[in-house]
Structures are given as structure tokens and as C-alpha cells.
A and B are shown apart, each in its own frame.
Chain A
Amino acid sequence: EAQVTQNPRYLITVTGKKLTVTCSQNMNHEYMSWYRQDPGLGLRQIYYSMNVEVTDKGDVPEGYKVSRKEKRNFPLILESPSPNQTSLYFCASSLRTGNTEAFFGQGTRLTVV
């Protein structure tokens, strides 16, 4: 089954404790991205990757890191989480940028206390 898998689904952590949210897709998609979703603000892009070893900042990259060492994986790293990073996070992949459908992971609800 074609899918984008994120883990964990739910995470509560403390300020400053490094964490990684994993994202994996099995569709051989070139393009992957991370979004955060907050009430009233919609989906905002954090980082994206057009292919292996190619990553770039989205609209809200501060406080986040990513890597794309393999085509299927695109982890999101919070080196020192803060309460303002409490949000619902989605990973998405598509065959290429722009004019093809984006497939979304199940979401990760992160709470930083």
C-alpha cells in the first residue's frame, strides 16, 4: 500500500530535549516536505527536499533541521524544542514539485512543556 508513515503519532516532551520525528514514504517520490498546522494559520511549510541531499527552507524553518540521506526518509529534528513548537506536524511527499498530488502522513501531535 502506498503511504507516508510518520512516527511517533503523539509526543509530549520538555523544553530543550532534542527529538526526531521520522517520515518514510514507499512511493519513490522525489519531493518531500514538512508542515506544521496551527489553529487559524493553516499548513505552513517548514522544510522541503527536492531529492536526496537537497533540502531547503520553507516559510517557518527556525528551530528545525532536516536531512535527506535516502530517498524514502525525511526526518524532522528539533535540537532544542520550545513551547512555541507545540503543534500538529505533517510530512508529505509527491512525485515531483508543484503540479502533482501531495500525500500526507498521519500527523504527529507534539506538545512541548
Chain B
Amino acid sequence: QKEVEQNSGPLSVPEGAIASLNCTYSDRGSQSFFWYRQYSGKSPELIMFIYSNGDKEDGRFTAQLNKASQYVSLLIRDSQPSDSATYLCAVSPYGQNFVFGPGTRLSVLP
């Protein structure tokens, strides 16, 4: 059983702070890693993807991947109230289906 785990939250951070979202996965064959954001009642939308160990930055977002520890994280700098949403981690072994984690609910307090 391939599993992806996330803390369900809610994770509360003050506006302007760094939010750190974490995800662990069980399948060592996983090669592609995605972070999706989902507002309440809406469909998930892709924020970032990462394939290689290390950090990948895109604006206020940084994805970090450590395959040896089977760990992927998402950092959100200068958090804004509009970042309040559920963040879904998705993992995929090459050529296989996505497996989604349960999501972490983030609340950014003004």
C-alpha cells in the first residue's frame, strides 16, 4: 500500500511569517512530487512540482525534497491571508498513478 502522510492541521501562522508544510511517503520508487492548493469547495490547483533532491524556488514558494528520508516539504514565505487553504502533497512513482496525502489545512492570521 503506497501511503502519503501529512499533518492534517490546522497549521496557524501570523501574516508575514513562514509556513512550513511537510509530507512523508512510503514508496521509495516515487520519482515525482507535487504540491496542490485547494480552497474550500474548490478543485485542487498545482503550486509546484519537484523531481530532484534539494530545493526548488518559485516566488514565495520553496519545495524541498529529500529522497533518502522520503520527505518533501513546502515553505511559504511572507504568508498572506489568501494563502489560507488546504495543501495536498501528491507523489508518483514513474509511470504510475498519483497518490495524494490527506492535506494540511493552513490558516494565515491577519
Contact = CB atoms under 8 A, between A and B. Distances in A.
Interface of A: 33, 35, 40-45, 48, 58, 90, 97-99, 101-102, 104-107
Given A43-B44, A97-B92, A102 B98 contact: yes
Q: Secondary structure at chain A's binding surface: helix, strand, loop or mixed? A: loop
Contacts, number: 56
A22 to B, nearest CB: 16
Contacts of A58: 97
B43 A106 contact: yes
Given A101-B34, A102-B46, A106-B43, A43 B100 contact: yes
B80 interface: no
Contact of B32 (A90, A98, A106): A98
Given A104-B43, A105-B43, A106-B43, A42 B32 contact: no
Interface in B77-110: 88, 90, 92-98, 100-103
A94 B51 CA distance: 17
Interface residues of B, number: 25
A98 B31 contact: yes
B45 interface: yes
A107 B38 CA distance: 12
B60 interface: no
Contacts of B96: 97-98
B12 interface: no
Contacts of A43: 44, 88, 100
Contacts of A35: 100
A98 B43 contact: no
Nearest to B102: A42
B66 interface: no
B75 to A, nearest CB: 20
Contacts of A44: 100
Contacts of B88: 42-43
Given A42-B101, A105-B43, A107-B43, 16 more contacts: A43-B44, A44-B100, A45-B98, A58-B97, A90-B43, A97-B92, A98-B96, A99-B51, A99-B92, A99-B94, A101-B34, A101-B46, A102-B46, A102-B98, A104-B45, A106-B43
